Amino acid sequence: MHLSFWVTWSFCYLSQEAGAGAVKLEGGSPACCAAVAKLVECGIPVVGHVGLTPQHAAATGGFRAQGRTAEAALKVVRAAQALEAAGCFAVVVECVPPEVGEAVTSALTVPTIGIGAGGATSGQVLVFHDMLGLRDHPSLSTADHNSSNIGSNSSMSSTVYGAAPKFCKKFADVGAAVHAGLSQYCEEVANGSFPDAQHSPYRMAKGQSEAFEELLITEGLKETTTAAAVPGAKAAASTNLNAPSGEKAPSIPPAQPPSLEAKLPLVD
């Protein structure tokens, strides 16, 4: 009872505060279907999710295709039916053989959205990071991800493996362009060519640059040209004007510019 209350309250908050048009629950267990029914009763639209359920991947053997035996395939269909009966207005079918996606679609009266489930589902979805190659990186191997056992996680597969899942067609190679741009940025920061004058466009108001320089000299934050050239002038410049006559303020070493390593951007 308490679980149902807090689950309902959380999704109500998500729906109202985050502007979500619906929420999605993975799995077709009795507990999941009970939660779906409670949410629908409270007026919150719910989408179901069967097949590979990424949020349960740790408990189901990892990101693996589902429904690959007759019994397992039937369980996927039954789970989808249970979710529809609980009140889901649509069901996502992920990472199953095409005939399983078709069977789920035929068994339901609500639309199915396929992701790696063949072409017979009512609609299709892909993670745009995967389809645009946003997560591809030359240093990451795709060998593990492309094994026959790995399916997809709609949002985590390419984060974990560094490449799009097998069922995902790449419609662009944005990742390569991103990598090239970041590499050029790092190189120009390292060799000092960026930022240049063109990309340091802000200027002080007329006459304020000179006034600022005078303030820096007065505050002891910058040496005058004469002080820099005359031996001993630097110590004299550090005299504290508010100290008793003849007493000097503690000498403060000039700030050192940051090292090259400190300037380099951190790129993951």
Query: Is residue 92, in this structure, part of any structural domain at all?
Result: yes
Query: Is residue 267, in this structure, part of any structural domain at all?
Result: no
Query: Is residue 206, in this structure, part of any structural domain at all?
Result: no
Query: Which residue is associated with the tokens 């006034």?
Result: 211
Q: From CA 75, how far away is CA 27, in angstroms rounded?
A: 11
* Maximum pairwise Cα distance, the chain: 97
Residues taking part in catalysis:
94
Predicted local confidence at residue 252, as pLDDT: 54
**Domain range for 85:** 2-125
Query: Is residue 249, in this structure, part of any structural domain at all?
Result: no
Q: From CA 50, how far away is CA 31, in angstroms rounded?
A: 14
- Please tell me the total count of domains within the chain: 1
Complete edge-to-edge strand list for the sheet that includes strand 90-94:
23-26, 46-51, 90-94, 112-115, 123-124
Please check whether residue 72 is in contact with residue 97, taking contact to mean a CB–CB distance below 8 angstroms: no
Query: Is residue 171, in this structure, part of any structural domain at all?
Result: no
Predicted local confidence at residue 75, as pLDDT: 93
Domain containing 113 — which CATH number? 3.20.20.60
For the chain of 268 residues, list the mean pLDDT of each consecutive stretch of 10.
58 70 91 92 92 80 85 94 97 94 95 93 88 67 40 41 73 85 90 88 87 89 63 46 51 53 46
Query: Is residue 226, in this structure, part of any structural domain at all?
Result: no
Query: Is residue 239, in this structure, part of any structural domain at all?
Result: no
Q: From CA 113, how far away is CA 47, in angstroms rounded?
A: 10
CA 131: distance to chain centroid?
Answer: 15
Query: Which residue is associated with the tokens 């939660």?
Result: 35
Query: Is residue 138, in this structure, part of any structural domain at all?
Result: no
Q: From CA 168, how far away is CA 164, in angstroms rounded?
A: 6
Q: What is the DSSP letter of 68?
A: -
